[in-house]
A and B are shown apart, each in its own frame.
Chain A
Amino acid sequence: MKFLVCVSKTPETTAKIAFSGDGSQFETSGVNYIMNPYDEWYALVRALELKELHGGSVTIINVGPASNDAVIRKGLAIGADNALRVNAEPNSSLYIAKQIAEHAKTENYDVIFCGKESIDYNGSEVGAMVAELLDLPFISFANHLDLEGNLATVSRDIEGGIEVAEVETPIVVSAAKGMAEQRIPNMRGIMMAKRKPLSVVEPFDFADLSVPVHFQLPPEKGGCVYVDGENMDELVRLLHQEAKVI
């Protein structure tokens, strides 16, 4: 079985988010980066578990600059067999999906995994786009996946219950919490990762359809004002004069 895991690099959850003065760029200085947790804990680990059960190989793909190699190396240390980096700035979901699809279309992967979303842009788009570009079935937010021959049983949380789907591989799956449990790489894995192949390819030429024009922080959360339930006049005054909503 051949598994492909799409991983991205995201700022650490505690990173302080700031943008350049004109709002055109994310300020990267002082920000620590990690592998997107949905990709690492759920997508990658489930791919490794399935490889351990059924044999085969796990490949990591990332679209990004050379500074992403550290994150890719971590994936190799956790246990992936090899990795591919498409050497390009990952500017939009479609751009990333096109690059991944371009690689995957000739490789005959049985399952292409991605995380349910990246914790920076929270787009949840890349997986669906890859599936569409390759004309493969897509199951989003999956929290369980079993394989038997080329039949995959996948379950996903839905409002008030669980949906279970059966689908024939090849498929694209986005992994959510529950799919697997985090694996911390051990020292042996870290040393082995150094010798695993990480190939770098130049991007396939494609004119992006969207370009980010402006970033801004959400308005700061104001403090909470408690108004005594008896004091209707004050409530009306605040809504009218301070909040200016009535």
Chain B
Amino acid sequence: MHNQNNGTITKSAKTDRFQHHDYYGVDELLTEEHLLAREAVREWVKQEVSPIIEEYADKSKCPTHLFKGLAEIGAFGPSLPVEYGGGGMDEIAYGIIMQELERGDSGIRSMASVQGSLVMYPIYRFGSEEQKRKYLPKLGSGEFIGCFGLTEPDHGSNPSGMITNIKDDGDAYILNGAKMWITNSPLADIAVVWAKDEEGAIRGMIVEKDWKGFSAPEIHGKWSLRASITGELVFEDVRVPKENVFPDVRGLKGPLSCLSKARYGIAWGAIGAALDCYDSALRYSQEREQFGKPIGQFQLTQKKLAEMITEITKAQLLAWRLGSLANVGKATPAQISMAKRNNVHMALQIAREARQIHGGMGITNEYPCMRHMMNLETVLTYEGTHDIHLLITGMDVTGLNAFK
């Protein structure tokens, strides 16, 4: 198990030299406000994330002070309405924000994805008016941190088999069970929890951290997403007042609609990690000399770089088109699955190739590739694994369900 080191963290003096790469002029498909949002979040990442991220990842510590900054910049629920603590932006702007955050680190993007798409979004979409008024502004401003509990120790890819459950007890439900792999859980003020009622229907509810019988121990020893905190949720006869249960939603479509939102953000976010690796590799290939010339002059290095920018360009177009569909409410869950799967895999491949271009230096925290590569192993697995998304596409095109 990895030991949590609480040594002080100093800002690195290295400057983040990242530059955007837009090989196909995709920027021309974006609006002025998209470009402004990108510039603002990029600037924020360069100032707040890049100078500290290597050390937080190294020490496996979560930079909790960034929650406030993420809230101030407007990274929590940017596409939710302003009156509920969101930013009132469109889906492409939301995607771009996730891309820039993940350009910094997938863990930082995860902090924002969970808060916005997995906590604020279900409360906005399924919550009662009182629940919205009570929780959303505090979540949007970062005063409250939230987490999302769906996965269980024995039910990951198959959440419908969950055993966490609620039993009616007058004005409250009694919640029992355990959730596993929950981003932000040890820090969270509230948890959006999915559990089965006595009829076996999946229900969603908001659980507050101080309630009796509720605990959220941290999971240690992660080699991935080290700057993001992950934990369990344990419920032992927790009394959940009925007014904290989402009134109308029943079944898996509740949690799945949140996951669609978050997966959509990941499809964009992964491009950020890929761009950071490509950008670093491209610069390194021009600066590093071997055999009397820059390594970028060797055909094998060029093959790697050319393939990287080709794949990034394809992913950018996929994300942009998905965003355009999402803006008019037409992006299907299967289309989102395709983009999440393709773009995350693309980013992981690029991280590996970029790592190679950096030679031995590539395995150190002087360069971002190895950290992105390790992070992307989680991104490939959470929010639906690489293979599960393939099966969703398979089911969509054949009409035949491989899960049964």
Q: List the A side residues contacting B39 at CB < 8 Å.
A: 74
Interface pair B19/A186, CB less than 8 Å apart: no
Q: List the A side residues contacting B72 at CB < 8 Å.
A: 186
Q: List the B side residues contacting A188 at CB < 8 Å.
A: 74, 82, 87-88
Taking the nearest CB of chain B, how far is it from the CB of A173, in angstroms? 25
Most chain A beta-carbon contacts within 10 A, residue among B33, B43, B93: B33
Q: Tell me, in angstroms, the Cα distance from A186 to B82 when the chains sit together.
A: 13
Interface pair B82/A190, CB less than 8 Å apart: no
Number of A-B contacts (CB under 8 A): 51
**Cβ-closest chain A residue relative to B93:** A187
With an 8 A cutoff between CB atoms, is A17 at the interface? Answer: no
Partner of B89, one of A73, A77, A187: A187
With an 8 A cutoff between CB atoms, is A14 at the interface? Answer: yes
Interface pair A190/B73, CB less than 8 Å apart: no
Q: Tell me, in angstroms, the Cα distance from A70 to B27 when the chains sit together.
A: 13
Interface pair A70/B32, CB less than 8 Å apart: yes
Q: Tell me, in angstroms, the Cα distance from A3 to B39 when the chains sit together.
A: 26
With an 8 A cutoff between CB atoms, is B354 at the interface? Answer: no
Classify the interface of chain B: helix, strand, loop or mixed: helix
Q: List the B side residues contacting A191 at CB < 8 Å.
A: 33, 82, 87-89
Interface pair B87/A184, CB less than 8 Å apart: no
Taking the nearest CB of chain B, how far is it from the CB of A73, in angstroms? 6
Q: Tell me, in angstroms, the Cα distance from A69 to B39 when the chains sit together.
A: 15
Q: Tell me, in angstroms, the Cα distance from A194 to B44 when the chains sit together.
A: 21
Classify the interface of chain A: helix, strand, loop or mixed: helix
Interface size class of A (residues with CB under 8 A): 10 to 19
Taking the nearest CB of chain B, how far is it from the CB of A98, in angstroms? 29
Instruction: Return the CB mask of A67-81 against B: 1 if under 8 Å, else 0.
Output: 001100110010000
Q: Taking A70-B32, A73-B32 as contacts, is the C-beta distance between A184 and B88 under 8 angstroms?
A: no
Which residues of A from 53 to 96 have beta carbons under 8 Å from B? 69-70, 73-74, 77
Interface pair A73/B36, CB less than 8 Å apart: yes
With an 8 A cutoff between CB atoms, is A185 at the interface? Answer: yes
Interface pair B43/A77, CB less than 8 Å apart: no
Q: List the B side residues contacting A14 at CB < 8 Å.
A: 19
Taking the nearest CB of chain B, how far is it from the CB of A76, in angstroms? 10
Taking the nearest CB of chain A, how far is it from the CB of B79, in angstroms? 10
Interface pair B37/A187, CB less than 8 Å apart: yes
Interface pair A187/B97, CB less than 8 Å apart: yes
Q: List the B side residues contacting A184 at CB < 8 Å.
A: 40, 43-44, 47, 73
With an 8 A cutoff between CB atoms, is B78 at the interface? Answer: yes
With an 8 A cutoff between CB atoms, is B35 at the interface? Answer: yes
Q: Tell me, in angstroms, the Cα distance from A60 to B44 when the chains sit together.
A: 23
Q: List the A side residues contacting B32 at CB < 8 Å.
A: 69-70, 73
Which residues of B from 279 to 326 have beta carbons under 8 Å from A? none
Q: List 19 A-B contacts (CB under 8 A).
A: A70-B36, A74-B36, A74-B39, A184-B43, A184-B47, A186-B74, A187-B37, A187-B73, A187-B75, A187-B78, A187-B89, A187-B93, A187-B97, A188-B88, A190-B40, A190-B74, A191-B33, A191-B82, A194-B33
A-B interface, 7 closest residue pairs, ranked by CB to CB distance from nearest: A187-B74, A187-B87, A186-B74, A190-B36, A185-B40, A186-B73, A184-B43
- Chain B residues with a Cβ under 8 A of chain A: 19, 32-33, 35-37, 39-40, 43-44, 47, 72-75, 78, 82, 87-89, 93, 97
6 additional A-B pairs beyond A186-B74, A187-B78, A188-B87, beta carbons within 8 Å, are A69-B32, A185-B36, A187-B74, A190-B40, A190-B74, A193-B33
